[in-house]
Amino acid sequence: MIGKSRLLVVDDEADMLQGLRKSLTREGYSVDIAKDGMEAVEKIEVSSYDVVISDLKLPRLDGIGLLERARDIRPQAVFIIITGYGSIESAVKALKLGAFDYITKPFSTQKISEVTAKAIQEKKAWSATATLPEEAIDVIEGYCMPLSLYYHPEHSWGRVEEDGTVRVGADDVFQKRAGEIIHIDFPFEGEEVARGKVCVRVTNSERKIHKLVAPVSGRVVDVNSALVSDHSLVKHDPYGTGWMLRIAPQNLKSDLAVLLFGRPLVEWWMKHEASDEKENKYLMSGALDPNFKNEIAAQPGGESIKACFACGSCSASCPIAEIDERYNPRRIIRMALLGMKEEVLTSDFVWLCASCYSCQERCPQGVKITDLMVALKNCAAKSGYVHPGIAAQAKPICRDGRIYAIDDFDNKKREKLGLPPVQSRAENVEKIFQITGADKVIKGGQ
């Protein structure tokens, strides 16, 4: 989870609603409220909540009905049921439907605070073990699609803002296909746009026009004037500062219902886009290890891996990436975050890092990329994979205590300088290699 955990509290008693909002906000949560079940469904449809705390008895749609609807819309949200009409039957039904906990009124603020904290832990555990990462996913190698946005299949995205408008932009695929942008034609403010119809025209350096369709219908209320002077924002930050326009939607609910969101987005990509790209570029989610990122984060140097937001600054500044296209730190980190454990650990490319620290200096997220590469090498070594080049270097170190053998010529020079001869054996080094198990790892790499 990134930033504050988001809660939705649902209750038809205004005092209870405000009291819970106040106490949970004080705990550091971002708290939204709804006074009945249908209002809650509408909020869950457009916002991603970590925990939903709902009364059982609600107007329009009761807590059990809300839980069932929420399961379909946001299966990852953790649900806590509260009620003044507690009964064994309703408690069992809520728990069977997947509610995390069930508490009866009256309860203390300490009780709700404890249960909420546990629910957040549950949510974190869910995210860590889910087959697909929740916040963002590279649907195919080299492409990044945040799962929190709504996508139109023609490669535009929409994000519902707090004021009810929809921010719109081009996805990673659109910007990659468009290439170097030299001009952007925006609609006028106040112009009506329709879902699936062209709203922005982008001209690239080859004078080809790429058309962006609107993901929702409505009136244009704003365009991103920053793009007029800096087209590269679309390339460097397509889901942030590279947004294109804001729309006041006309039929938000029905528009969102037909857009791609979350897991269906990934499934759609696998089915429809796979044929456009070369074989083997697609990830099969069953082959991913969602715990891999946690394994790396537990390694010294790997702690910051989850902060990467795939900006590519590291790859742009990497001298190795410039001369060897197989080496791309941004891509390696995305592969690791996705859980492509085998591909990363058995690859030759993680061993190419020259530890120059150019990338680490530039990362806006403070990811310790150079240290991370060392952590990945350590993970690879623990898994029994060592690059043959490293194994070849380790062999003389184990045998002689140094990377190249000392011969008579070297010792004669030392003698002339008044230095003692160097011992050719390094028993202590050999012992260290045996005790740490490095000798076996190195043999595996030979």
Cβ nearer to ligand SF4, comparing 173 with 373: 373
Cβ nearer to ligand SF4, comparing 102 with 327: 327
Smallest gap from residue 237 Cβ to ligand SF4 (A): 11
Q: From the centroid of its chain, how far is CA 39? A: 29
Kindly state whether residue 373 participates in binding ligand SF4, applying the rule CB under 6 A.
Answer: yes
Binding span for ligand SF4 by CB under 6 A among 28-36, 197-205, 352-360, 382-390: 352-360
Kindly state whether residue 333 participates in binding ligand SF4, applying the rule CB under 6 A.
Answer: yes
Kindly state whether residue 355 participates in binding ligand SF4, applying the rule CB under 6 A.
Answer: yes
d(CA 344, CA 316) in angstroms, rounded, equals: 20
Q: Which listed residue (243, 269, 292, 309) binds ligand SF4 by CB under 6 A?
A: 309
Q: Which listed residue (94, 310, 350, 374) binds ligand SF4 by CB under 6 A?
A: 310
Binding span for ligand SF4 by CB under 6 A among 38-46, 108-116, 158-166, 349-357: 349-357
The type of residue at 283 is L
Exposed, middle or buried by CB within 10 Å (0-12, 13-18, 19+), for 207? Answer: exposed
d(CA 174, CA 198) in angstroms, rounded, equals: 13
Kindly state whether residue 229 participates in binding ligand SF4, applying the rule CB under 6 A.
Answer: no
Cβ nearer to ligand SF4, comparing 24 with 350: 350
Q: Which listed residue (367, 380, 381, 386) binds ligand SF4 by CB under 6 A?
A: 367
Kindly state whether residue 311 participates in binding ligand SF4, applying the rule CB under 6 A.
Answer: yes
Cβ nearer to ligand SF4, comparing 163 with 325: 325
Q: Which listed residue (34, 61, 132, 353) binds ligand SF4 by CB under 6 A?
A: 353
Kindly state whether residue 357 participates in binding ligand SF4, applying the rule CB under 6 A.
Answer: yes
Binding span for ligand SF4 by CB under 6 A among 123-131, 197-205, 267-275, 347-355: 347-355
Kindly state whether residue 329 participates in binding ligand SF4, applying the rule CB under 6 A.
Answer: yes
Nearest to 71 by CA among 97, 46, 50: 97
Please tell me the count of residues contacting ligand SF4 according to CB under 6 A.
27
Cα-Cα-Cα-Cα dihedral sign, residues 99, 100, 103, 107: negative
Q: Which listed residue (54, 165, 217, 313) binds ligand SF4 by CB under 6 A?
A: 313
Cβ nearer to ligand SF4, comparing 104 with 365: 365
Kindly state whether residue 312 participates in binding ligand SF4, applying the rule CB under 6 A.
Answer: yes
Cβ nearer to ligand SF4, comparing 95 with 307: 307
63-73 and 37-46 helices, crossing angle to 10°: 10
88-96 and 63-73 helices, crossing angle to 10°: 0
Kindly state whether residue 241 participates in binding ligand SF4, applying the rule CB under 6 A.
Answer: no
Kindly state whether residue 370 participates in binding ligand SF4, applying the rule CB under 6 A.
Answer: yes
Binding span for ligand SF4 by CB under 6 A among 26-34, 168-176, 306-314, 374-382: 306-314
Query: What is the contact surface with ligand SF4 in residues (CB under 6 A)?
Result: 308-314, 317-320, 329-330, 333, 353-359, 363, 365, 367, 369-370, 373
